[in-house]
Amino acid sequence: MKILFVAPYISTIYGGTSKIVKELIEGIARLDVSVDLITTNANGTDNLDVPLNKWINQENYRIQYFPCWHQDDFIISYSLVKWLFNNVKKYEIVHTQTVFAPIISIANWICKSSQTPYVVTPHGMLEPWALSYKGWKKKLYYSIIENKLIQKSQAIQTTSSLEFQNINALRFKHSVFVPNGVHRQDFELPAEAEVFYQQFPETKNKTLILFLGRIDPKKGLDLLAPAFAKVHQQFPHTHLVVAGPDNIGFLEKAQNYFLQAGCFDAVTFTGMLNGSLKYAALSATNLYVAPSYSEGFSMSILEGMASGLPCIITTGCNFPEAAAAQAAHVVEISPNAIADSLIECLTEPEQAKAMGDRARDFIFNNYTWDRIAVNLCKVYQAIIDKQPLPQSLETQSNEFIEK
């Protein structure tokens, strides 16, 4: 089996999608599948310092970066498109990442024109909130370009049961549910919290609440600000850590939310946390919060739960399974609902800890990359063999939706 992944970016500054792509490729490659990745050197307002137009060997796959022009998330690469046009027929499956990206739309069109099977992963970009944000532009692009190209794909990988349901409501009938995951070994031993305290000393001896994600309108920081202000008034020892990259210039507006709510002095904006510092932050944290309006399937939520943290997430995070397993508080998308759930956890710490313990077991038992890679390879093989998409993957979604 020979698979090509196409992603507009892979830099960590773009958040969870970049991590998902790399982790999924590594998981598939460990199954003795030949996997290549082509992407660009986009890196927010900068470019990655990487070799261009040549294969770079990783442990068990190859990656090739192409030069590009980019503005925020809008990325164009003539050389990538040219390479794909000349080489696409060498692969049995092309798996494209995200939608509403011209470079991906062109990649899908090349696959369709060359009759090369392709799989599309929207990463939450076809969710109702995401479709309504900057709505008229997306409606126009979707109706003229995106819809037809997605319809012609051989499969749409959805990463949550609700995304599966919402995509089917858009009249796509070839979606499969293959979620994201974590590496169990990354969370089996807690990291040293002191590493985080040394970097951000104002957080030491505080009850820490962690937001881990991009600084972006859909992440709900406008909801979190008044929610945390309410929590901090009742629990003055609490401190909020807002950890994540600002690749669209939204940071100043996000900070103003907390200034207006009157709790800015109890908030630390760390920027992006990677590697040992991110795991140290998870170890130092008491509560995790994801106030999002919309998600595909959040990597940071999986990481918070795998760390054994009591997690408060909104219905927009598309993780009802966590509520069903009593592994997280899944609340309405409102400041009061978020605040009330945080206050409940702070008031009942033993119950909150028990929920965190359930969360850890729930993620380890259901959401690991090794398991997910096997399921995705079943989808690839069915497409190559021109067989129906694996029913077991679709049934998993349908069974949950019917409950």
215 and 323 assigned to the same domain: yes
Backbone angles phi, psi at 390, to 5 degrees: -55, 120
CATH number at residue 280: 3.40.50.2000
Domain encompassing residue 156: 2-181+368-402
Report pLDDT for 401.
Answer: 35
**Structural contact between residues 154 and 116, judged by C-beta atoms closer than 8 angstroms:** no
Mean pLDDT, the chain, rounded, equals: 91
One-letter identity of residue 187 = F
Exposed / middle / buried, residue 315 (Cβ in 10 Å: 0-12, 13-18, 19+): middle
Residues 342, 213, 376, 398, Cα dihedral to 10°? 40
Residues 262 and 338 in one domain: yes
Q: From CA 176, how far away is CA 396, in angstroms rounded?
A: 9
Q: Which helix (H) or strand (E) holds 166?
A: helix 161-169
Question: Does residue 61 share a domain with residue 8?
Answer: yes
Q: Are residues 297 and 398 in the same domain?
A: no
> What is the per-residue pLDDT for 391?
62
Q: Are both 282 and 261 inside the same structural domain? A: yes
Residue 399 pLDDT > 60: no
pLDDT in tens, 358-398: 999 999 999 998 889 999 999 999 999 999 998 645 434 44
How far is 10 from 40, CA to CA, in rounded Å? 7
The domain total for the chain is 2
Q: Binning pLDDT at 50, 70 and 90, where does residue 403 land?
A: very low
Which pTM was predicted?
Answer: 0.81
Q: 307-337: per-residue pLDDT in tens? A: 999 999 999 998 999 999 999 999 999 999 9
What's the token pair of residue 261?
């709510």
Q: Which tops the pLDDT comparison, 355 or 188?
A: 355
Q: Are residues 62 and 130 in the same domain?
A: yes
If DSSP codes are grouped into helix, strand and coil, which group holds residue 392? Answer: helix
pLDDT in tens, 255-305: 999 999 999 999 999 999 988 999 999 999 999 999 999 887 888 999 999
Question: What integer pLDDT is reported at residue 142 of this predicted model?
Answer: 83
- Whole-number Å distance between alpha carbons of 291 and 294: 9
Q: What is the DSSP letter of 265?
A: G
Residue 176 and residue 217 in one domain: no
Give the separation between CA 357 and CA 351, rounded to whole angstroms: 10
pLDDT tens, residue by residue, 343-356: 999 999 999 999 99
> In this structure, what are the phi and psi dihedrals at residue 197, rounded to the nearest 5 degrees?
-60, -35
Q: Residues 158, 221: one domain?
A: no
- What is the reported pLDDT for 173? 84
Q: Assess whether 156 and 137 both reside in one domain.
A: yes
Residues 169 and 190 in one domain: no
Q: Is 214 in the same domain as 107? A: no
110 or 134, which is more confident?
110
Same domain flag for 315 and 395 = no
> What does the pLDDT look like over 136-181, one tens digit per residue?
777 888 888 889 999 999 999 998 888 888 888 888 889 999 999 9
8 Å CB contact between 254 and 263? no
